[in-house]
Amino acid sequence: MADLLERRWQLSIIYAALTGALRFSEFAEAIGGISPRMLSERLRDLEAAGLIERTVLPSSPPAVEYRLTERGRRLAPIVEAMRSYAEDPST
């Protein structure tokens, strides 16, 4: 798990998912500076690890949503602790 989470952008994607991002464009907007190719790759990595599930919605044109799995949601306390630590001016 540490190998997966240490890759650039992974924690940012998980944080965005925890704060409500569902669609590819919402992730891209929430994570400034990530290329579409990298975002797609990282979402696939998280899906393969069982942290995010990808759902194709039956619409025209087809839409895709990404949601944290139960396993992914269990990372919330860790991600929140890291965010709090980063924002603490005494650190």
| Largest distance between two CA atoms of the chain | 51
Q: How far is the CA of 82 from the CAs of 15, 44, 76, in angstroms?
A: 10, 23, 10
Which tens digits make up the pLDDT trace of 51-74? 999 999 998 888 999 999 999 999
d(CA 88, CA 73): 24
The answer, yes or no, to whether residue 91 has pLDDT greater than 70, is: no
d(CA 10, CA 25): 16
pLDDT at 42: 96
d(CA 77, CA 65): 23
Q: Report, as an integer, the average pLDDT of 18-28.
A: 93
Q: Report, as an integer, the average pLDDT of 4-14.
A: 89
Using pLDDT thresholds of 50, 70 and 90, give the confidence band for residue 83. Answer: confident
Using pLDDT thresholds of 50, 70 and 90, give the confidence band for residue 2. Answer: confident
Can you give the CATH number for the domain in which 30 is found? 1.10.10.10
Q: Are 4 and 41 in contact (CB under 8 A)?
A: no
Query: How many domains would you assign to the chain?
Result: 1
To which H or E segment does residue 57 belong?
Answer: strand 52-57
Domain enclosing residue 67, as ranges: 2-87
